[in-house]
Homo-oligomer: A and B are copies of this chain.
Amino acid sequence: MNEMPAKLQARAERKNAKRDVKKRQIAESAILALKELGYAHTSLRDIADKSDMSLGMLHYYFDDRTDLIIYCVTIYKEDFVSDITAALEKANGRAEVIDAFSEALVTSIFDHEMTHRLWYDIRTQAMFDATFRPVVSEIEQKLIGIVRAAFEKAGHTEVTNVELSYALLDGVFRFLMQGQIGPKPKERAELLATFRALLDQFL
């Protein structure tokens, strides 16, 4: 008697799962376009063209341009956070944490420069468009969480001012990353040294 509902529910779940897979697939294509052109200059048509999707499909899976972009940024968060977290996990003791953290940050600058560009773009948009604020805020909390984790792993028992440490670290990260876009990008080693010195002072 209750078998059918169970079956139906199972089917609905399978469908939802499938839908989520597709959404992520679309979002990943969208990110490619957004990373390149930026929030302001990426139209849904651009996204549809760059991937092999029809314009209609974008709206079939997402309510809105905004909805799609928020989804994209959410994915970014997951990737970046899990990257850094994984890197920190293996580290034991202050020295190793500084090493691993610096290493991970620099690697991310080199490998995901464009993704970070997008993140800074959306974060700035949030200053003007309240719609973006919840996601941005949520992500920023995760990033602060990473810094806190680093502190704890480094042996600090009582961590204060994590937010400030994040802000400061983010300022440097952004500055260095932006420098890599310009005409005179720096060597990997130099960036690494900078982060090391900074973390050595703060952590």
Bound Cα distance A129, B39 (Å): 12
Contacts of A149 in B (CB 8 A): none
* Interface residues as binary, A13-36 with B (CB distance below 8 Å gives 1, 0 otherwise): 000000000000000000000000
Residue in B121, B163, B164, B171 whose CB lies within 8 Å of A127: B121
Chain B, Cβ-Cβ closest to A37 = B128
Bound Cα distance A170, B167 (Å): 9
Contacts of A41 in B (CB 8 A): 128-129
Decide: B163 and A167 in contact? CB cutoff 8 A. no
Decide: A120 and B128 in contact? CB cutoff 8 A. no
Query: Interface segment, A65-73, A80-88, A175-183?
Result: A175-183
Decide: A128 and B124 in contact? CB cutoff 8 A. no
Contacts of A37 in B (CB 8 A): 128
Contacts of A182 in B (CB 8 A): 133, 137
* Interface residues as binary, A92-107 with B (CB distance below 8 Å gives 1, 0 otherwise): 0000000000000000
Residue in B124, B167, B176, B181 whose CB lies within 8 Å of A172: B167
Bound Cα distance A181, B129 (Å): 11
Contacts of A175 in B (CB 8 A): 163-164, 166-167, 170-171
Contacts of A120 in B (CB 8 A): 124, 127
Contacts of A168 in B (CB 8 A): 168, 171-172, 198
Residue in B127, B171, B176 whose CB lies within 8 Å of A178: B127
Decide: A128 and B117 in contact? CB cutoff 8 A. yes
Could you list 23 examples of A-B contacts with CB < 8 Å?
A38-B127, A38-B128, A38-B129, A39-B40, A40-B128, A41-B128, A41-B129, A117-B128, A120-B127, A121-B127, A127-B181, A137-B182, A163-B175, A164-B172, A164-B194, A164-B198, A166-B175, A167-B171, A167-B172, A167-B174, A167-B176, A168-B171, A171-B171
